Amino acid sequence: MKEADDISPYRYFVPPLGGVSPAERGLVWRFLFGMYPCSSTAAERPLLVQQMAVRYQVMKSKWRQSVPEAVRLRLNGTDAELEEAVRYHERRQALLQAQEQRGEVSDRLAFLQLQAQVLFERTTFDLNELQEAIRIIDKDVPRTDRDLDYFLGEGSGNLLVLRDILITYAAFHPEVSYAQGMNDLCSRFLEVLDSEVDTFWSFSCCMEKFSKDFRADGLHRKIELAAALLRELDPQLHDHLVTEGKESFTFCHRWLLLGFQREFEHGDALRLFEVLSCDHLELISQQVDRARHRERLAQTHSPADTAPAPAPRAVNAAFTFELFICATILIDHRDALLRCRDDGQLIQFTTRLQGTLDLDSILRKAEEHFYNYCKRCAWDFMNGGCQPSGNKEDFFDQLRSLFF
């Protein structure tokens, strides 16, 4: 039984188009991205945070000892604000260390530190790979969100916190390491959570789902799916965008990699990130798999003397709601896109969209495209010559479960 004052994250979601109240965003994100287990109680969470804080500090200390020359961000002297931020960050770190040394260490904290040291004692780094990751991080971090208040003035010291988080992640996740764009993803966690430790663990949980998007094959697959969905929704626009002389849908690369971070006003971009991260209206479900299985069975058991019916088009479970957002933006601007004749014009088109899109309008239209796609799939099933052995209503019940 949870305490009476325990907090459910679901009470803070804002109907009808999704998103979280900005005042409660930090708490909800800790649940949404897995830092807090949804089953945890108010009494348990401070203990979890303490354990995560100790582990993070041990992890950060370990890579700093292995690559001491990378502890300080190297600057070329042309960014005075960041130069001051480095000095401010170092003074703040020294003050925190002094406070920790003066404070008494509880038995529990001492045990957690020993436990973390044992846990990571045998961790080794490929120094060449880690140094290469740090080199790229040091190029990306100074360019991250410098127009946001959180990273302006004294707040630019937060860029150094972001750097430590990214290096620690790369050091202890060598199978992923670091790729360009992770700084933009991680920066939104740091801005919302305003905590180095909480950002590291929330970002790490998020990357369990999204790390494949930062690999060339993963992003290429997502771009292919975006093209396939547009072909379903607007064949004419699709054919125009894949004609000779255009590199297919690579101009959507940044949208899909960063979750449309630049295309909406900053607050709306955070809200959309929440909508996409909670798997809103996803087609990946056991119900859809069962419906597709019944379609195949119906085809297999149809009478031999019956003329073969055209195979019904099944629901493509790989069409995530993120792809419906992408397709909606393209369809919403189809006239401008139909006038584009080469890749250069397509890139100019995407640049002009930055910060101009209306999120509520896009969400409504994307949901409409989603529902229409599901209705079309159901219609194909009913008229594709298949006679399922079970009740046809089961198929609609399974599709309906996606909507409620």
pLDDT at position 152 is: 85
Are 63 and 171 a contacting pair, CB within 8 Å?
yes
Integer Cα distance of 290 and 268 in angstroms:
36
CB neighbours of 376 closer than 8 A, spacing ≥ 6? Answer: none
Q: What are phi and psi of 403, to 5 degrees?
A: -95, -15
Which SS3 state, helix, strand or coil, does residue 336 take?
Answer: helix
Cis? peptide before 9, omega within 30° of 0 = no
Closest by Cα among 259, 253, 370 to 319 = 370
Integer Cα distance of 187 and 218 in angstroms:
22
CATH 1.10.472 boundaries in the chain: 215-404
Q: Which helix (H) or strand (E) segment is 89 a member of? A: helix 80-102
pLDDT at position 345 is: 86
What is the reported pTM?
0.79
Q: What is the DSSP string of 150-197?
A: GGSGGGGHHHHHHHHHHHHHHHH-TTT---TTHHHHHHHHHHHH--HH
Integer Cα distance of 295 and 388 in angstroms:
7
Amino acid 281 reads: L
How far are the Cα atoms of 56, 102, 116, 118, 329 from residue 111, in angstroms, in the given order? 15, 18, 9, 11, 53
Which SS3 state, helix, strand or coil, does residue 20 take?
Answer: strand
Q: Would you write out the chain's pLDDT as a tens digit for each of its 404 residues?
A: 344 444 444 454 444 577 888 889 999 999 999 899 988 899 999 999 999 999 999 999 999 999 999 988 887 767 787 888 888 777 777 777 766 655 556 777 787 888 788 878 888 889 999 999 999 999 999 989 888 999 987 778 899 999 999 999 999 999 999 999 999 999 999 999 999 999 999 999 999 888 888 888 888 888 889 999 999 999 999 999 887 545 567 888 889 888 899 899 999 999 999 999 887 676 654 444 455 455 555 555 555 444 444 444 455 667 889 999 999 999 999 999 999 888 888 888 888 988 899 999 999 999 999 888 877 776 655 555 343 334 445 545 555 555 44
If 0-12 CB within 10 Å is exposed, 13-18 middle and 19+ buried, where does residue 244 land?
exposed
Amino acid 364 reads: R
CATH architecture assigned to 215-404: Orthogonal Bundle (1.10)
- Token match 């000892």: residue? 65
CB neighbours of 232 closer than 8 A, spacing ≥ 6? Answer: 373
Integer Cα distance of 291 and 388 in angstroms:
10
Which SS3 state, helix, strand or coil, does residue 71 take?
Answer: coil
- Token pair belonging to 194: 């305003």
pLDDT at position 16 is: 54
Closest by Cα among 136, 153, 155 to 80 = 153
Which SS3 state, helix, strand or coil, does residue 11 take?
Answer: helix
Are 238 and 208 a contacting pair, CB within 8 Å?
no
Within 10 angstroms of residue 340's Cβ, the number of other Cβ atoms is 18
